[in-house]
Amino acid sequence: MNNTTIYIILILLFPLAGFLINAFLNKNLPGKISGIIGSIAVFVPLILSLIIFINLKKNIPAQTIYLSQWIITGQINIPFEFLIDPLSVLMMLVVTGVGTVIHIYSIGYMHSDNRIHTFFSWMNLFIFFMLILITGANYLIMFIGWEGVGLCSYLLIGFWFKNNEFNYAARKAFIMNRIGDLGFLIALFLMIINFETLSFNNIFTAHHILSQDTKTITIITLLLLVGAVGKSAQIPLYTWLPDAMAGPTPVSALIHAATMVAAGVYMIVRSNLLFRFAPLTMDLIIIIGITTALLSATIALYQEDIKKVLAYSTISQLGYMFLALGLGAYSSAMFHLTTHAFFKALLFLAAGSIIHALNGEQNLRMMGGLAGKLPVTFITFLIAALAISGIPPFSGFFSKDQILLNTFNCCPSLWIFAVLGSILTCIYIFRVFYLAFYGEYRGNSPDNHDDEDIIKPDKDISALHESPLIMTIPLIILAVLSLAGGFINLPQIFGGNNYLDNYLAIESAETGIDDTTEYFLISTTVIVVLIMIIIVWFRYTSKPAQGPKVITEMNFIEKMVYNKFYVDELYRFLFEKPYDFLSEKLLPTIEKGTIDKTVNSAGTLSLTLGSLARKIQNGNISFYILLMTLAAIAFLAINVFIL
Amino acid sequence: MNSLIILSITGITLLFAGLGKSKWVLFTIGIAGLITAGILTLADWGKNEALFNKMIIIDDYSTAFNFSIIFTTLMIFLISSNYIRNANKYLAEIYALMIFALIGGCIMTSFGNMVTLFMGIETLSIPLYVLAGSRKTSIASNEASFKYFILGSFATAFFLLGVALIYGASGTFNTNEISSYILLHQTQIPKIFYTGIIILIIGLCFKIAAIPFHFWSPDVYEGAPTLVTTFMATVVKTAGFAAIFRLLQNAFSNLSVYWQTILWIITLLTLLISALAALNQTGMKRLMAYSGISNSGFILLAVLAMNSMSPGAILFYTFTYALGTIIVFGMIMLHQEYTGSDSILSFEGFGRANPVSGIIFTLALLSLTGIPVTGGFFAKYYIFLTAIHSNFIWIVVIGVITTVISIYYYFKIINALWKENRCQKKIPLIIPFRTAFLICSILIILTGIFPDYLIRLL
Residue B220 confidence (pLDDT) above 90: yes
Residue to test with chain A: of B279, B408, B409, most A Cβ within 10 A = B279
- Taking the C-alpha atoms of residue B417 and residue B362, their distance in angstroms, rounded to an integer, is 8
User: Is the pLDDT at B435 greater than 70, yes or no?
Assistant: yes
β-bridge partners, A80? A68
Task: Using the predicted structure, report yes or no on whether residue A613 has a pLDDT greater than 90.
Answer: no
Tell whether B450 is within 8 A of chain A (Cβ).
no
Name A615's Cβ contacts closer than 8 Å, sequence gap at least 6: none
Domain that residue B78 falls in: 2-455
| The 3-state secondary structure of chain B, one letter per residue | CHHHHHHHHHHHHHHHHCCCCCHHHHHHHHHHHHHHHHHHHHHCCCCCEEECCCCEEECHHHHHHHHHHHHHHHHHHHHCHHHHHCCCCCHHHHHHHHHHHHHHHHHHHCECEHHHHHHHHHHHHHHHHHHHCCCCCCHHHHHHHHHHHHHHHHHHHHHHHHHHHHHHHHCCCEHHHHHHHHHHCHHHCCHHHHHHHHHHHHHHHHHCCCCCCCCHHHHHHHHCCHHHHHHHHHHHHHHHHHHHHHHHHHHHHHHHHHHHHHHHHHHHHHHHHHHHHHHCCCEHHHHHHHHHHHHHHHHHHHHHHCCCCHHHHHHHHHHHHHHHHHHHHHHHHHHHHHHCCCEHHHHCCHHHHCHHHHHHHHHHHHHHHCCCCCHHHHHHHHHHHHHHHCCCHHHHHHHHHHHHHHHHHHHHHHHHHCCCCCCCCCCCCCHHHHHHHHHHHHHHHHHHHCHHHHHCCC
pLDDT at position A461 is 65
Q: Which member of A627, A639, A640 has the closest CB to residue B215?
A: A627
The pLDDT of residue A445 = 57
Give burial (CB, 10 Å; 0-12/13-18/19+) of B399. Answer: buried
Return the pLDDT at A449: 46
Confidence category of residue A452, pLDDT binned at 50, 70, 90: very low
Cβ neighbours of A256 (radius 10 Å): 28
Q: Do A632 and B279 touch (CB under 8 A)?
A: no
List C-alpha distances in Å: B395 to A295, A548, B240: 60, 74, 22
- Do the chains contact at A639 and B262, CB–CB below 8 Å? yes
Is cis: bond before A15, omega within 30 of 0? no
- pLDDT class of B340 with cuts at 50, 70, 90: confident
pLDDT tens digit string along A115-151?
888 899 999 999 999 999 999 999 999 999 999 999 9
Residue A546, pLDDT score: 59
Given pLDDT bands bounded at 50, 70 and 90, which one contains residue A560? confident
Of the candidates B147, B195, B215, the beta carbon closest to that of A636 is on B195
Q: How far is CA A61 from CA A83, A133, A198, A496, in A?
A: 11, 20, 21, 22
Q: Give the residue from chain A lying closest to B261, CA to CA.
A: A643
Chain A neighbors of B261, CB-CB under 8 A: 638, 642-643
Are B408 and A617 inside 8 Å of each other by CB?
no
Classify residue A246 by its DSSP letter.
G
Percent of chain A with pLDDT over 70: 93
A569-579 mean pLDDT: 87
Contact B276 A619 (CB under 8 A): no
Confidence band for A402, pLDDT divided at 50, 70 and 90: confident
Q: Band of the pLDDT at A101, cuts 50, 70, 90?
A: very high
Q: How far is CA B430 from the centre of its chain?
A: 26
Overall domain count for chain B: 1
Burial of B420 (0-12, 13-18, 19+ CB in 10 A): exposed
Read off the pLDDT of each residue in B259-285 and give the average, rounded to a whole number: 91
A 10 A CB-CB count for A186 gives 16
Q: Give tens-digit pLDDT for B363-420.
A: 999 999 999 889 999 999 999 999 999 999 999 999 999 999 899 999 999 999 998 8
Q: Which residues contact B309 (CB under 8 A, 6 or more apart)?
A: B302, B382, B385, B386, B389
User: Looking at residues A31-44, what average pLDDT do you find?
Assistant: 89
Cα A157 to Cα A146: distance, rounded to the nearest angstrom: 17
Mutation target among A628, A641, A643 for the B interface, most CBs of B within 10 A:
A628
pLDDT at B182 over 60: yes
Q: Is the pLDDT of residue B213 over 80?
A: yes
Q: Is B198 close to A627, i.e. CB distance below 8 A?
A: no
Give the range among A217-231, A280-294, A436-450 with minimum mean pLDDT: A436-450
pLDDT at B44 over 50: yes
**Among A166-170, A226-230, A435-439, B249-253, which stretch is predicted with the lowest mean pLDDT?**
A435-439
Give me the pLDDT at residue B145, please.
Answer: 93
A-chain residues within 8 Å CB-CB of B191? 640
pLDDT band at A455 (very low <50, low <70, confident <90, very high): very low
Q: In B, residues 363-422, which contact A (CB 8 Å cutoff)?
A: 405, 408
pLDDT computed for residue A296 by the predictor: 92
Q: Could B258 and A643 be called an inter-chain contact, meaning their C-beta atoms sit closer than 8 Å? A: yes
Whether B281 and A614 lie within 8 Å, measured CB to CB: yes
Burial class (CB in 10 A: 0-12, 13-18, 19+), A75: exposed
- Over residues B104-132, the mean pLDDT reads 94
For residue A488, give the DSSP letter.
G
Residues of B in contact with A640 (CB under 8 A): 191
Asked if B198 lies within 8 A of A607 by C-beta distance, the reply is no
Per-residue burial over B204-229, b if 16 or more Cβ lie within 10 Å, else e, is: bbbbbbbbbbbbbbbbbbbbbbbbbb
Residues in B touching A625 (Cβ below 8 Å): 150-151, 154
> Do A643 and B212 lie within an 8 Å CB cutoff?
no
Mean pLDDT in chain A?
Answer: 86
Q: Is B194 on the interface with A (CB under 8 A)?
A: yes
| Least reliable range by pLDDT among A239-253, A476-490, A535-549, B122-136 | A535-549
Confidence of residue A543 (pLDDT cuts 50, 70, 90): low
**What pLDDT is attached to residue A450?**
45
Are A639 and B198 within 8 A, CB to CB?
Answer: yes
Confidence of residue B341 (pLDDT cuts 50, 70, 90): confident
Query: Distance of CA A288 to CAs A295, A323, A400, A425, A612, Å?
Result: 10, 8, 17, 18, 65
Q: What pLDDT is attached to residue A542?
A: 66
Could you give the CA distance from residue B277 to residue A64 in angstroms, rounded to a whole number? 55
CA distances from A488 to A71, A398, A485, B100 (A): 40, 10, 6, 80
When CB atoms are compared, the residue of A603, A606, A621 closest to B150 is A621
B1-19 pLDDT per residue, tens? 789 999 999 999 999 988 8
Closest Cα partner for B112 from B65, B179, B46? B179
Nearest CA in chain A to B143: A619
Is B147 part of the contact surface with chain A (CB cutoff 8 Å)?
yes
Per-residue model confidence as pLDDT tens digits over A281-309: 999 999 999 999 999 999 998 888 899 99
List alpha helices for A469-551, DSSP H. Answer: 469-484, 499-504, 515-541
* Best residue of B264, B268, B271, B280 to probe chain A, by most A CBs closer than 10 Å: B280
- How do residues A459-490 score in pLDDT, each as one tens digit? 566 677 788 888 889 999 999 999 888 888 88
In terms of C-beta density within 10 A (0-12 exposed, 13-18 middle, 19 or more buried), how is residue A145 classed?
Answer: buried
* A574-587 core/surface letters (b: 16 or more CB in 10 A; e: else): eeeeeeeeeeeeee
Contact B355, B361 (CB under 8 A): no
B147–A621: do the CB atoms touch at under 8 Å?
Answer: yes
> Residue A124 has what pLDDT?
93
In this complex, do B261 and A619 lie within 8 Å of one another by their Cβ atoms? no
Which pLDDT value is given to residue B126? 94
Examine the pLDDT at A589 and tell me if it is beyond 90.
no
**Chain A positions touching chain B (beta carbons under 8 Å):** 603, 606-607, 609-614, 616-617, 619, 621, 624-625, 627-628, 631-632, 635-636, 638-640, 642-643
pLDDT at B110: 93
Residue B83, pLDDT score: 75
Cβ neighbours of residue A516 closer than 8 Å, sequence gap 6 or more: none
pLDDT digits (tens, 9 = 90+) for B113-122: 999 999 999 9
Higher pLDDT, A210 or A243: A243
| Concatenated DSSP letters of A144-165 | HHHHHHHHHHHHHHTSSTTSHH
Instruction: Identify the CA nearest to A141 among candidates A209, A38, A205, A68.
Output: A68
Distance of alpha carbon B246 from alpha carbon B254, whole angstroms = 13
Q: Which amino acid is at A100?
A: T
Q: Is the pLDDT of residue A332 over 60?
A: yes
A:B CB pairs within 8 Å: 69
Of all residues in chain B, what percent carry a pLDDT higher than 90? 69
- The string of DSSP codes covering A209-243 is HHHH-HHHHHHHHHHHHHHHHHHTT-TTS-THHHH
Side chain identity at A55, as an amino acid letter?
A: N
A512 phi/psi in degrees, rounded to 5: -90, 40
Span A490-511, pLDDT tens digits: 887 777 777 888 887 777 766 6
The band of A153, judged by pLDDT with boundaries at 50, 70 and 90, is: very high
Task: List residues bridging with A214 in a β-sheet.
Answer: none
Q: How far apart are CA A129 and CA A373, in angstroms?
A: 39
